[in-house]
Every structure is written in C-alpha cells, then in structure tokens.
Structure 1
Amino acid sequence: MSGLEYLRAMQAGDLPHPPICATVGFRFVGFEEGRAVMELEPGEHQYNPIGTVHGGVIVTLLDSVAGSAVHTTLPPGVGYTTVGINTSFLRVVRGDTGTLRAEGRLIRAGRRVALAEADLTDADGNLYAHATSNCLIVTP
C-alpha cells in the first residue's frame, strides 16, 4: 500500500500505531497527500527539570508529523528517514497549555531527498514551535 494508504489504515485502527505514539502521547488526526496532522495533550509526565514540557517531546512530534507528510507521497515499498531537523521554539509548553496541533507539509520532494516543515499551534492558533526537516527517500 502507498504511504498515504498506510497512514490512513493506522489512523482507522486497521493497523497498529507505531509505539512512539504511546511513548510520547500524540495521536493521528488526518492525512492528505503532502499533509499530516497530529495532536498532543501535554502533561507534567513530559516535564524537564525546569517544569516545562521537554523540548525532545516537541521535536519528536514535529519530526513525526513532517516525516508523515513526506510519507503520504511515497509509493508502496518506499520509505524515508530524517537526516536533519531544525526546530525553533517560540513559546513554552506546560501541562496546562491544552491540546496542541502539529501540522506537517511537504515543501518539495526529489528522487532522493524531501523537504518538509511543521508547525505546532494551540487552539487559538498561537505558534509554539516550527521545524524544517530533510528526509532521505529510501528505496528497496
């Protein structure tokens, strides 16, 4: 099945979600070609020593949603892996921040490398973080 079909099958529960979803606590919301949406309910269990959600949680979510945007465009049997991600943190995330929405978008895909970006926003549209991701396209 194509990348888009695969992601939609996981979202529908026809295939198991990857373990990282449970580990970090995010869920699939929707997928279209070149676009992916996920959500996270931040909580104190994700805090770093200074009392805010650990940046690694945010980067993991943004990496997942940006990579999934790339994945939606791939044919059966073709995969990807992130080779670089650059993240800018714009607001502090705490356990009481509320539901955060991560949206990934494909910017450009070549034969071997794809560029995607991702934004993390709250229910009011406030931007918490932005990432750009370079993915290597992996063929059999």
Structure 2
Amino acid sequence: MSIETEAVLQQWLAREAEVRARMAEPGVATLDQLKAVSGIDFLLGILNGDYPVAPIGKTMDFIPVEGEPGRIVFQGTPGVQHYNPLGSVHGGYFCTLLDSAVGCAVQSMLPKGMGYTTLEIKVNLIRAMNSKTGPVRAEGKVIQVGRQVGTAEGRIVDAAGRIYAHATTTCLVFPLP
C-alpha cells in the first residue's frame, strides 16, 4: 500500500470512528421530525446524533460520514457476512450502499416538508469486493432536483481511488403527508 493510500485510509477510519461516537441508535425518525427540517438539516442531524441512523446501515454495516447540499458520502467495510455463495461481496451490498448515497444526495436538496422515494436505480458493478478490500466509500452527487423528480449519480471507491461500481438514480419528490 502506498504512503498516500495509507494516509487516506487512516483519515477514513478516523472519520468513521468520530461519526460512530456521536451517532444515535438505529431507528426510524418520526414524520414530524422529517417535516420539521430541510433534507440537508435532517441528514446532518443524523451525522450529529440528533436523529436515529437508518437500521439498514446497522444491517449492512455502513454509515454516513459526510454531507453537504447535493453531496452525501457513506462508508462501510465489506466482510464475509456480505458474501454471496461464490465467495465475493453480494451485489446487493453494492446496490444498497449506492442507493443510500444517491437517494440521500437528492434528499439533501429538498426543502422542509418534502420527501422522496427511489423510482429507479441503475448500478454497474465493475470490480469485485471481498473481505480484504477494506473500507469503501459511496459518494452520491445530485444531477438535478426539481419539484417532482430528482436525479443523482454515485460511485463506490476504496482508499486508493479504485472504482468498484457506479450508479444513477431517479427519485420521486413529494410533499410529506
């Protein structure tokens, strides 16, 4: 491993530990909590421990580590528990990680009182992951968010910058009930 890659890896692990130290237990926010703040304020509230982290993150062992309007980053470390019968990380891990990143990127642009749901996601797996891959990050970036539709793109990379998968999504944007 190069010195540069080792430095990035150490930064990633430190950031993950910092975020995990202040995160709330997994759970589901109330509708009133969701409606009270903008999408980015809600996501930053998860990072700060003000709102519960999504239960899927516990199941798949990944968490949000960065967020700003139009850009969200999730980090996880694939392991044997994510394997398919062939001995590599199941495609569902890639898809779930990317769906979280691109969907939350769209959410980060929504005003107070608005929500979203994934209508479509297209994922391209281009490199296998296994228990030796180490931490990976899924970065979601908004392409465009309108009144009814939001689109975003994302990719999974390791600390050396190798791309494992990329995705695009289309999300339905709607007023929260």
- TM value normalised by structure 1: 0.98
Larger strand fraction of residues: 1
Larger helix fraction of residues: 2
Unaligned 5+ runs, structure 2: 1-36
Equivalent-residue separation in structure 2 for 1:122 and 1:20 (angstroms): 21
Equivalent-residue separation in structure 2 for 1:28 and 1:17 (angstroms): 9
Larger RCO: Structure 1 or Structure 2 (Cα < 8 Å, ≥ 6 residues apart)? 1
Answering whether residue 107 of structure 2 is matched by residue 78 of structure 1, we say no
Find the residue that maps to 1:57 and give its secondary structure: helix
Equivalent-residue separation in structure 2 for 1:99 and 1:80 (angstroms): 28
1:17 Cα offset (Å) = 0.4
Letter of the 1:55 partner, please give it. Answer: G
User: 2:46 is matched with which residue?
Assistant: 10
Letter of the 2:112 partner, please give it. Answer: P
Find the residue that maps to 1:60 and give its secondary structure: helix
- TM value normalised by structure 2: 0.78
User: 1:27 is matched with which residue?
Assistant: 63
- Kindly report which structure 2 residues correspond to 1:124-135, keeping only aligned pairs within 5 A, or say none: 124-135=160-171
Percent of aligned pairs with the same amino acid: 46
User: 2:141 is matched with which residue?
Assistant: 105
Q: Single out whichever of 11-20 and 126-135 deviates more from structure 2.
A: 11-20
1:64 Cα offset (Å) = 0.4
User: 1:62 is matched with which residue?
Assistant: 98
Unaligned 5+ runs, structure 1: none
Aligned residues: 140
Which has the larger Rg?
2
User: 2:159 is matched with which residue?
Assistant: 123
Greater than 2 Å deviation, 4+ residue runs: none
RMSD value, Cα: 0.7
Find the residue that maps to 1:4 and give its secondary structure: helix
